[in-house]
């Protein structure tokens, strides 16, 4: 996950260590999201406002799911030595991340009007989308990082741990949204 290893060459043993470390990090992050999701139910049960923009919610969910596909394709491409394909798919992923974030910003604009952060629903809505949005943003920065390193030919088949790490993180950010979306938009 750390582009730190960008230039480094990992032994097979170090690669396994890094994988396990990343998985544990993801489990830990999941706990953080679970706390905020739990607070939503503890604080206000399953009630939600009528003013939610359901179409937008569904749209950005679709965009984020699609970005996991392109991220997956990027990883597969570099594993097979297809650098142009890798770069293309990383860029698509970043683009979709950008679309998602724009969608969140639009939703925030509407939210400030209908359910501002001081309301009980707004509290959970803004903190969950904000926390997740920060993860999307950091994921997009990391994706840009592997794009730039990739353009200089730093990765190849068997030497792409940073790509694998960032893509796994990206899938996690996607899965987190799969739990946040129904929590905010569908229940109740």
Residues near another protein (CB under 8 A) are: 2-8, 11-13, 16-17, 20-21, 24-25, 27-29, 31-32, 35-36, 38-39, 42-43, 117-120, 122-123, 126-127, 145, 148-149, 152, 154
Q: Shortest distance, CB of residue 39 to another protein, whole angstroms? A: 6
Q: How far apart are CA 74 and CA 92, in angstroms?
A: 9
Nearer to another protein, 44 or 66 (CB): 44
Nearer to another protein, 29 or 99 (CB): 29
Nearer to another protein, 39 or 69 (CB): 39
Q: Shortest distance, CB of residue 10 to another protein, whole angstroms? A: 12
Q: Which two tokens stand for residue 9?
A: 């060459």
Query: Bridge partners of 159?
Result: 156
Query: In residues, how long is the chain?
Result: 188
Q: How far apart are CA 163 and CA 146, in angstroms?
A: 6
Q: How many beta carbons lie within 10 A of that of residue 52, not counting itself?
A: 19
Nearer to another protein, 35 or 187 (CB): 35
Nearer to another protein, 1 or 96 (CB): 1
Q: How far apart are CA 162 and CA 1, in angstroms?
A: 6
H/E stretch holding 185: none
Q: Judge whether 82 and 28 are in contact, CB under 8 Å.
A: no
Q: How far apart are CA 150 and CA 145, in angstroms?
A: 8
Nearer to another protein, 96 or 169 (CB): 169
Q: Shortest distance, CB of residue 94 to another protein, whole angstroms? A: 17
Q: Shortest distance, CB of residue 66 to another protein, whole angstroms? A: 28
Q: Judge whether 63 and 103 are in contact, CB under 8 Å.
A: yes
């Amino acid at each position: 996950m750390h582009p730190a290893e960008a230039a480094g060459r990992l032994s097979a043993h170090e690669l396994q260590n890094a994988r396990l470390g990343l998985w544990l990090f993801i489990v830990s992050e999941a706990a953080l999201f679970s706390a905020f999701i739990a607070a939503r139910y503890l604080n206000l049960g399953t009630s939600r406002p009528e003013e939610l923009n359901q179409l937008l919610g569904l749209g950005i969910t679709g965009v984020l799911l699609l970005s996991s596909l392109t991220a997956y394709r990027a990883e597969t491409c570099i594993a097979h030595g297809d650098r142009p394909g890798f770069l293309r798919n990383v860029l698509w992923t970043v683009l979709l991340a950008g679309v998602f974030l724009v969608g969140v910003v639009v939703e925030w604009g509407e939210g400030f009007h209908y359910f501002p952060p001081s309301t009980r629903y707004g509290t959970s809505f803004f903190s969950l989308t904000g926390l997740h949005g920060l993860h999307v943003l950091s994921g997009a920065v990391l994706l840009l990082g592997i794009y730039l390193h990739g353009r200089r030919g730093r990765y190849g088949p068997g030497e792409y741990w940073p790509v694998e790490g960032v893509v796994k993180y990206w899938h996690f950010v996607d899965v987190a949204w799969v739990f946040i979306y129904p929590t905010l938009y569908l229940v109740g």
